[in-house]
Amino acid sequence: MSKQYKYKQAKITEEFIDVDDEIQNSTQQTGYAWEEEYKRSWDVLQEDEDGSLKRTVENLQHRKRKRLFRDTATIRRGIIRHMFLIVDLSEAMMEKDLRPSRLDLTLLYAEQFILEYFDQNPISQLGIIVTKGGYAEKLSDLTEILIIMGSLTTCDPGDIYDTIDNLVNENIRVSVVGLAAEVQICKLMCKKTKGTYGVVLNEAHFKDLLFEIIPPPPVSATQNKAELVIMGFPSSVTDASPSLCACHSKPTIGGFICARCHSKICDLPTDCPVCELTLVSSPHLARSYHHLFPINNFVEVPWNNSVSSTHCFSCQIPFPPLLGVRGGAVPIENSGRYKCNKCHQHFCIDCDVFVHEVIHNCPGCLATTH
Amino acid sequence: MNVLRDAATVNEDDANLLVLIIDTNPLIWTRLAKSTGLSLKEALRHLMVFINAHLALKHDNEVAVIASHVDVSKFLYPIPNPHKLSEDTDQTMNSNMYQRFKVVNDQVIGNMKELFEDLSKLNSYPDKASSMIAGALSMSLCYINRIMRADEIGHIKPRIFIASVSPDSPNQYISIMNCIFSAQKLGIPIDVCKVHGEDAVFLQQAAHITGGRYLKLPTPQGFLQFLMITFLPDRYTRTYQCLPGEEKVDFGAACFCHKKIIDIGYVCSFFVIHWNNVQLAGLTNLMLASVNEGGLRVVNGIKKLDKSKGRESGGST
């Protein structure tokens, strides 16, 4: 089987299992959707006693919301991270219990993980290590470790307990995603180093476990003291005629102008070669702000309070009207409205998910002056 | 990078969804009408021609219009259950007008009137100089998200256009940046037309980051012409257009203490917040103490301090 074909298969698998996660999939157009689409889709949909699918659909919706409930308390987060991703490439990864195989799925998710990691942690670093046949190669010293492990056994050259103690001493957090079954030593290691340990149930759960590690972790009080660093936010320029840059002394047309001494620099982030001011791109820093100011979780609106709202505040989609009670049919269990407790506007479930996962702004709070 | 990605995914046959955000800050528009002769009414006429031109380009092109007012952001079109518009909207143009143009024009103008009739709130709003751009952007992203979800084959290509007159509001910095990054993630270009006034730093960054276009009008009277030439071409056509390069993008950020736009600031290595120079000089001890002590409380502390000028004891605890 060619590599490319395997990759396509992996995409398809992911597509139908993660029915509720269209935001992340919207960028991936599926290849042969018709080949796989029907294979297991009816396993997901199961009729209840009355032969209705309503409950299944609701479950799907709730699963979507479940992931949303995050801690909105303000905590101190370490935004500059240094993490190793360790991928097990032993024979155990060829098992096909996760489809298409543990290895293919891992590679697919690792690719998405890395993209998302740098999106949410723009000024962090990531190293990758693969382990195979008793060897692992380290690239550089970083402070966090994430292991994706398919094997049930480890082969340790020294005493693993000594290694764990060293990790604790060096303040290195270890998280493990196990693909097979719980391994006691991994659990102990994660617990001691304040990392997370999880064993995957199925393909979608694998992704959940992996992506939980992306948001910057809280920082314990004992870790290094925070310092204020002076930084400049240069503006970019495009000149009509080339001029010399301060860093390479080469004629360039475009560049960035140092905020303090106004010399021209080719690329960011850097230290100004003339006045030694640290220059960064402010949008880079701004990417992390939503971690600092998380928005409140929306609450479900019960039927009796929701009669007044006719449509979603942000996307204008009409809400289901109050029909069921009068018609004698079973009333729909939830009203489809979700409320922000600050601005009291009602939103649909899609906007609720979108607002918390993508925008990180409450449109109601920003668009009204309550 | 955005342009490159676009070239691969955008087709000639794609329908275009244009979300217009119109900055309707009445105070700035009044000033603008006095100084340049371009009133909001006149500008709206230009914008209606622009919207009609967009709809006329392709039969399945869609449009949405959001007003970014001083105290509220509101959908002007489309709105669910449009009520009967008042009689004074022009009913005489029926016979020779494409029905769709008429529906859009009537609703936008009617809803705009409604927005302006409710002037009672205006006095209570503290920051009259700016408009609710962040709210309007969040709403447009939610709307686009809804349309894109419904469109399974990826036929609709969205973009956002902002006609801005108000100056930047540093209070909205974080929320505007959040919107910009979501738009970038979803591949939605944000076009910005600065009709009047100083360059809008945040909106300039928005256009730069999302691969949209930024234009500051040299002559506000020629609004329509700039609209038609710079902002009408859809995403497919743009891959073939060559514009004069952006001269300068100001990457200024807003500081967390004074909500001022700054070039040089102090950044905390843990939670990356900018401090203004002046603030630091006066309050170094207080701030460093509270930074060491614990996390985000410092921000609240400073905010409190700003409001109750000088009462430092409140901030340091």
H/E/C letters for each residue in A232-286?
Answer: ECCEEEEEEEEEECCCCCCEEEEEEECCCCCCEECCCCEECCCCCCEECCHHHHH
Q: Is residue A118 exposed (0-12), middle (13-18) or buried (19+ Cβ within 10 Å)?
A: middle
A94 in contact with B at a CB cutoff of 8 Å?
no
The top-scoring range by mean pLDDT among A5-19, A137-151, A295-309, B86-100 is A295-309
Give Cα A63 to chain centroid, integer Å: 17
CB contact under 8 A, B172 and A221: no
The chain A residue lying nearest B132, using CA atoms, is A367
Edge-first strand listing for the sheet containing B190-194: B73-77, B62-68, B15-23, B156-164, B190-194, B214-216
**What's the confidence (pLDDT) of residue A100?**
82
Lowest mean per-residue pLDDT among A59-63, A147-151, B117-121, B135-139: A59-63
CB contact under 8 A, A286 and B72: no
pLDDT digits (tens, 9 = 90+) for A33-83: 334 444 444 555 555 555 556 555 655 566 555 555 555 555 566 666 778
Yes or no: say if A366 and B140 are a contact pair by the CB < 8 Å rule. Answer: no
pLDDT digits (tens, 9 = 90+) for A102-159: 888 888 888 888 888 877 777 677 888 888 777 776 655 566 778 888 777 777 778 8
Q: Do domains A82-211 and A295-367 have the same CATH topology?
A: no
CB contact under 8 A, A351 and B145: yes
For chain B, how many residues are written?
A: 317
pLDDT digits (tens, 9 = 90+) for A219-274: 655 555 556 677 788 888 888 788 898 888 888 888 888 888 888 888 777 788 88
Other C-beta atoms within 10 Å of A171: how many?
14
Is residue B93 left, alpha or beta, with left meaning phi > 0 and alpha meaning psi from -120 to 50?
Answer: alpha
Going from the N-terminus, what domains does chain B have, and what CATH number goes with each? 2-238 (3.40.50.410), 253-316 (no CATH)
**What's the confidence (pLDDT) of residue B292?**
33
Distance from CA of B294 to the nearest CA of A (A): 8
**What's the confidence (pLDDT) of residue B50?**
95
**What's the confidence (pLDDT) of residue A19?**
38
Q: Three-state DSSP class for B67?
A: strand
CB contact under 8 A, A232 and B294: no
Chain B residues with CB-CB distance to A72 below 8 A = none
Its CATH class, for the domain covering A82-211, is alpha beta
Q: Is residue A221 exposed (0-12), middle (13-18) or buried (19+ Cβ within 10 Å)?
A: exposed
Its CATH class, for the domain covering A295-367, is alpha beta
Chain A residues with CB-CB distance to B154 below 8 A = 29
The number of C-beta contacts closer than 8 angstroms across A and B is 212
Is residue A79 left, alpha or beta, with left meaning phi > 0 and alpha meaning psi from -120 to 50?
Answer: alpha
Yes or no: say if A328 and A278 are a contact pair by the CB < 8 Å rule. Answer: no
**Token couple for A266:** 């080719």
A139 in contact with B at a CB cutoff of 8 Å?
no
Yes or no: say if A53 and A34 are a contact pair by the CB < 8 Å rule. Answer: no
Q: Which of residues 169-198 of A touch B (CB under 8 A)?
A: none
Boundaries of every domain in chain A: 3-66, 82-211, 234-279, 295-367
In percent, the amount of chain B with pLDDT more than 70 equals 71
Q: φ, ψ for residue A145 (rounded to 5)?
A: -130, 135
Residue B201 has, within 13 A of its CA and on its CB side, a CA count of 20
Yes or no: say if A359 and B178 are a contact pair by the CB < 8 Å rule. Answer: yes
CB contact under 8 A, B149 and A22: yes
Q: Which of residues 18-57 of A touch B (CB under 8 A)?
A: 22-23, 26-27, 29
